[in-house]
Amino acid sequence: MQHASSSIKNKRILLAEDCDDSRDILTFLFSKSGAEVEAVSNGSECVDRVLQAKNESRPFDIVLMDVHMPVLDGNEATKKLRAQGFTKPIVAITGQSTEEEKKHCIASGCNAFVSKLTSKDKMIDAIEAVLSEDSEARRSNYEIPALPFVPHILRTNPEYAPKILKFIENIDQKVTELETLLAVPDERGLFELCGALSNASFYGYQIFADRLAEFQKFLEHRQYEEARHALRLLSQAAKSIKLGYGQVQKYIA
Amino acid sequence: MNTTELFTRSTLLEEDPESIQLVLSFVTALDSKISDIETTIKENNITALKQKTHKLKGSAALYGFEQFQKLLQEFECYVMMSQVHLYSEKFKEIKVISENIRSHILGQYAS
């Protein structure tokens, strides 16, 4: 089973997996696909190794993160990595494949979720898909992009320019309002405000829209701790949109 | 293919013969993992039982023992539901299958 893996070949993979058997076989499979694989056995070691590799100017291209690990589990390690500014893909790999767990992984900052119970080919395909993702879109999830984003709709429908500008002008204030409402928590106010922000998808701010949907899901389930984390990611996406204000103005002019 | 062959086949090994050494190591250590789970059942330590089963299920899948993984998944479900009678019965089946895997793989591939 030799994968002709263009995206994964020569990529530096950090695998965090506490189970020796799983660690060995995953290392074997990804190495055979042409990747350079390093492995650690818990979330804490993973966070340390990512930082160390960055300092050595040999950063990892992707982290494959088991969810259930001792010392620091995969979700907590992912949150730490994102908080430290790690913007490369993190893929959760686990034997559990419930929707609940998947949502938790994504809310923690993982880009994707792969089940160990799936076939090896599908697992590698999923990881390649993440590696092939548009890097700008991925960056805007976790950090303020260097180049502000001009929504595609402006290129095709310039008449939306005033509405988009107004949306950008108000976005950080709206996110601050969400934070205030969540602190209460004022459910009705939160849902109303989420509704008011739902144009994000139409305007082409898909990352923001996805984060908003994730935030709303946690609200619906009254999972306020997860909602707070989702709101932090939403706030980062809002900052990214806000930075694009000048660029949008320039584009319209 | 009879039932024993179905449960003891590794799709990983079939697709990638180079994985043989890793599969042999996994199979060789299977006995101690099953014994460990048995001890955990006796100790009635449900949290540890869930964790150990979950890990073994993931490994079984990665090593291509699909039917064995499905058995472990059923066992894990019963453990999650605290169905002691059901998971105790399922574990007897798991023990037999793991022994079959061991004898089949080691018999066929260990030199």
pLDDT digit string (tens) for B37-50? 999 999 999 999 99
Per-residue confidence (pLDDT) for residue A144, from 0 to 100: 39
pLDDT of B105 > 60? The answer is yes
Token reading at A244 = 């694009």
Mean pLDDT of chain B: 91
Residue type, A196: A
Burial class (CB in 10 A: 0-12, 13-18, 19+), A189: middle
Q: How confident is the model at residue A138 (pLDDT cuts 50, 70, 90)?
A: low
What average pLDDT does this structure show over A42-58? 94
ipTM over 0.85: yes
Most confident of the following: A19-33, A94-108, A136-150, A222-236: A19-33
A14: part of which helix (H) or strand (E)?
strand A12-16
Give the residue on B whose Cα is nearest the Cα of A123: B62
Q: Name the pLDDT band for A130 (thresholds 50, 70, 90).
A: confident
CA distance A236 to B75: 42
Of A31-45, A88-102, A156-170, least confident by mean pLDDT is A88-102
Which of B16, B26, B54 lies at the smallest CB-CB distance from A95?
A: B54
- Cross-chain residue pair A25–B62, CB shorter than 8 Å: yes
Q: Which residues does chain B have within 8 Å of residue A21's beta carbon, measured at their own beta carbons?
A: 25-26, 29, 59, 62-63
Q: CA–CA separation, A56 vs A12, rounded Å?
A: 13
Radius of gyration of chain A (CA): 19
pLDDT value for A141: 47
Cα-to-chain-centroid distance, residue A19: 25
Cβ within 8 Å, pair A94-B58: yes
Span A54-64, mean pLDDT? 93
Cβ density class A109-126: b for 16+ within 10 Å, e for less: bbbbbbbbbebbeebbbb
Residue range A6-10: average pLDDT?
80
Contacts of A48 (CB under 8 A, 6+ apart): none
A233 pLDDT more than 80: yes
At A108-125, the pLDDT tens digits run: 888 888 888 888 888 888
Nearest to A61 by CA among A86, A32, A29: A86
What does the block give as tokens for A117? 């119970």
Closest by CA to A50, choosing from A80, A20, A8, is: A80
Is the pLDDT assigned to residue A184 strictly greater than 50? yes
In terms of DSSP H, where are the helices of chain B? 3-8, 11-15, 20-28, 30-43, 46-62, 66-80, 84-109
CA-wise closest residue to B60 among B109, B110, B23, B6 = B23
Å between A159 CA and nearest CA of chain B: 53
A25 to chain B, minimum CA–CA distance in Å? 7
In the sheet with A12-16, reading across from the earlier edge strand, the strands are A36-40, A12-16, A62-66, A90-94, A112-115
Please give the radius of gyration of chain B, using alpha carbons only, rounded to the nearest integer: 14
**Rounded to 5 degrees, what angle do the CA atoms A125, A131, A133 make?**
105
**Which of A19-33, A136-150, B16-30, B55-69 shows the lowest per-residue confidence on average (mean pLDDT)?**
A136-150
Stretch (H or E) spanning A5: none
Give the residue, A241 or A90, on which the prediction is more confident: A90
On the question of pLDDT at A227 being above 50, the answer is yes
The reply to whether A26 touches chain B by the CB within 8 Å rule is: yes
Q: Choose among A54, A9, A56, A53: nearest CA to A32.
A: A9
